[in-house]
Amino acid sequence: MRLILFGPPGAGKGTQAKRLETLHGLKQLSTGDMLRSAVDSGSALGLKIKDIMASGELVSDDIMCQLIELRIRQDDCENGFILDGFPRTTAQAEALDAMLAKNDMQLDHVIELVVDEEELFKRLRSRIEESGDTVRSDDNEETFKHRLQVYKNQTAPVLPFYTDKGLVRQIDGMKPVDAVASEIDATLGLSAAA
């Protein structure tokens, strides 16, 4: 099964993707995690994207599409994968379509986690408190506001692209983690014990 987890920053995409990976063997492909490893490694790519990420802006479509195309063809994606943080622009969605077709792959569902802004800020504050010194460079209120704006301007407009294909399933992301997880399982027709 191939999925996209969609939703604003802090909606719980990473949490749910990790769970789906552990319980159902679908590989989590988090572009945020990939980019953070590139930054930590100090590679040329890492140096190029460090400041972009810290500002809450998006890394170029070109870089993102190359990263994802390399990734989805690897053996650990054979059972399926969950895209977490990609696509984030219409250009990325169109490029994804082309790369899936080229690799004879199909997308099964787009899961949209719906969470209101007040809750997103609440979650951000508790994440900042919990992480202490290890807080992400883009996890502060100022940058978070910008990330939300970027989401609204560039990422949310991607949804109609998938609605038109009949792929979007909305999930109430305001509920506790386990309740959200059960709803996702039910929507995907996966049994929790699988």
Q: By CB under 6 A, is residue 12 in contact with ligand ADP?
A: no
173 binds ligand ADP (CB under 6 A): no
Active site residue 123: no
Burial 70-105 (b: 16+ CB within 10 A, else e): ebbeeeebeeebbbbbbbbbebbbebbeebeeeeee
- What are the angstrom distances between the C-alpha of 60 and each of 122, 124, 161? 29, 25, 20
| Nearer to ligand ADP among residue 32 and residue 173 (C-beta) | 32
Tokens read off for 182: 């059960």
- Based on the shown chain and the rule CB under 6 A, indicate whether residue 64 belongs to the binding site for ligand ADP: yes
39 lines the binding site for ligand ADP (CB under 6 A): no
Interacting residue with ligand ADP among 29, 56, 115, 180 (CB under 6 A): 56
Q: Does 99 bind ligand ADP (CB under 6 A)?
A: no
Instruction: Please name the residue that has the structure tokens 């999930």.
Output: 171
138 binds ligand ADP (CB under 6 A): yes
Q: Which of 2, 13, 27, 36 is catalytic?
A: 13
List all residues 6 or more positions away from 158 whose beta carbon is below 8 Å from its beta carbon: 6, 87, 88, 89, 90, 92, 93
CB atoms under 10 Å from CB of 154, counted, come to: 16
Residue of minimal Cβ distance to ligand ADP: 32
| From candidates 12, 17, 26, 86, binder to ligand ADP by CB under 6 A | 86
Asked whether the beta carbons of 82 and 29 are under 8 A apart, the reply is yes
Q: Judged by CB under 6 A, does residue 52 bind ligand ADP?
A: yes
Judged by CB under 6 A, which stretch of 16-24, 54-62, 114-122, 173-181 contacts ligand ADP? Answer: 54-62
Cα–Cα separations (whole angstroms), residue 72 to 5, 60, 92, 145:
15, 19, 14, 31
Q: Which amino acid is at 158?
A: V
Active site residues: 13, 88, 127, 136, 147
Q: Catalog residues that contact ligand ADP under the rule CB under 6 A.
A: 9-10, 13, 31-32, 35, 52-53, 56-59, 64, 85-86, 88, 92, 138, 147
